């Protein structure tokens, strides 16, 4: 509901001339037909998006599932205990968390002050830096990783933890700079001036106004960055494998070799942190914090 503020701003005439209390008959009928079509397309979209996930979710509990049946013939929970007790899950989880936390922290330290500067101050080179950061996204990921690997060989960073952390942090630079910068920029100057006029000190103004109002945007960036690191597979695979296998890179092997049930269980476990964290910032993401950050100003 509130999450959709974006699509239907308060006071917006969401119905337009189409639906709502407009008394003209033909458009009523049209609106109903339109809604039926939209409903059908909506269901198709639902199957397209959720179908694979539901199918995988069922597989995680299947004991025997014979083609072409729509549901398993018999059910079991044994794959859950099997996956949890299997070797490799916990170490991989530990590595995933460690890399993601380190990379996110590093990214915060490096990017947040920069985001503040770019959001609230004017200085020569601001635009160049803002657009220059886009370089991390402008190059197709796998091509970039291969180029980085060559440098990493020379720097002795290949197959090291530091190497993985750098690659993961690199993937968060744009998110961690652009989104908080937009958030800092949208703090109304009048509020800050009012606080200054009322005698508040520089730090006080920053912490109780600027930072606080920008916090939703910063949180969105931090969560997105953490998840990007936690879920990052391709760079981690190229730089870290075979020494450092995180959960997502482990999934590469499982997807091809493991029985469908174990891979499905593993996949569901891996989804949990993403879903929890994304739900926390869902409102802000849907409210436009993400979109806002991607329009350079």
Q: What residues from 157 to 176 belong to the interface with other proteins (CB under 8 A)? A: 166, 169-170, 173, 176
95 binds other proteins (CB under 8 A): no
220 binds other proteins (CB under 8 A): no
Among 102, 165, 182, 205, binds other proteins (CB under 8 A): 182
222 binds other proteins (CB under 8 A): no
Nearest to 179 by CA among 144, 228, 146: 228
Among 134, 160, 195, 200, binds other proteins (CB under 8 A): 134
CB atoms within 10 A of CB 256: 8
Nearer to other proteins, 173 or 218 (CB): 173
Nearest to 218 by CA among 284, 271, 128, 169: 284
257 binds other proteins (CB under 8 A): no
Closest CB 79 distance from other proteins, rounded Å: 14
Nearer to other proteins, 37 or 90 (CB): 37
207 binds other proteins (CB under 8 A): no
Span near other proteins by CB under 8 A; candidates 82-90, 97-105, 203-211, 263-271: 263-271
Whether residue 91 contacts residue 273, with contact meaning beta carbons closer than 8 Å, is answered with: no
101 binds other proteins (CB under 8 A): no
Q: What residues from 38 to 77 belong to the interface with other proteins (CB under 8 A)? A: 38-39, 41-42, 45-46, 48-53, 55-56, 59, 67-70
Q: What residues from 75 to 94 belong to the interface with other proteins (CB under 8 A)? A: none
Span near other proteins by CB under 8 A; candidates 29-37, 76-84, 85-93, 204-212: 29-37
Closest CB 139 distance from other proteins, rounded Å: 6
Among 132, 162, 207, 243, binds other proteins (CB under 8 A): 132
111 binds other proteins (CB under 8 A): yes
Closest CB 260 distance from other proteins, rounded Å: 6
Span near other proteins by CB under 8 A; candidates 73-81, 83-91, 116-124, 203-211: 116-124
214 binds other proteins (CB under 8 A): no
Cβ-Cβ contacts under 8 Å for 252 (sequence gap 6 or more): 233, 237
């Amino acid at each position: 509901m509130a999450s959709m503020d974006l699509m239907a701003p308060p006071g917006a005439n969401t119905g337009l001339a189409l639906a709502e209390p407009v008394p003209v008959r033909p458009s009523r009928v049209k609106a109903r037909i339109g809604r039926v079509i939209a409903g059908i397309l909506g269901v198709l979209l639902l199957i397209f998006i959720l179908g694979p996930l539901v199918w995988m979710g069922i597989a995680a509990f299947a004991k025997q599932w014979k083609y072409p049946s729509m549901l398993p013939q018999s059910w079991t929970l044994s794959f859950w205990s099997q996956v949890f007790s299997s070797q490799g899950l916990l170490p991989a989880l530990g590595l995933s968390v460690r890399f993601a936390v380190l990379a996110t922290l590093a990214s915060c330290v490096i990017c947040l002050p920069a985001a503040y500067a770019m959001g609230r101050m004017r200085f020569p080179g601001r635009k160049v830096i803002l657009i220059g950061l886009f370089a991390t996204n402008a190059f197709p990921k796998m091509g970039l990783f291969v180029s980085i690997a060559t440098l990493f060989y020379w720097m002795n960073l290949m197959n090291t933890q530091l190497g993985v952390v750098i690659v993961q942090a690199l993937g968060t630079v744009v998110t961690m700079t652009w989104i908080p910068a937009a958030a800092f920029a949208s703090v109304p100057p009048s509020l800050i001036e009012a606080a200054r006029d009322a005698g508040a000190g520089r730090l006080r103004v920053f912490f109780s106004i600027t930072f606080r109002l920008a916090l939703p945007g910063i949180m969105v960036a931090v969560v997105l960055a953490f998840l990007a690191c936690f879920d990052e597979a391709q760079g981690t695979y190229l730089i870290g494998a075979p020494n450092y296998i995180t959960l997502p890179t482990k999934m590469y092997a499982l997807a091809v070799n493991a029985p469908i049930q174990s891979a499905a269980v593993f996949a569901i476990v891996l989804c949990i942190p993403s879903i929890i964290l994304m739900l926390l910032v869902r409102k802000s993401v849907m409210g436009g914090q993400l979109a806002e950050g991607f329009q350079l100003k």
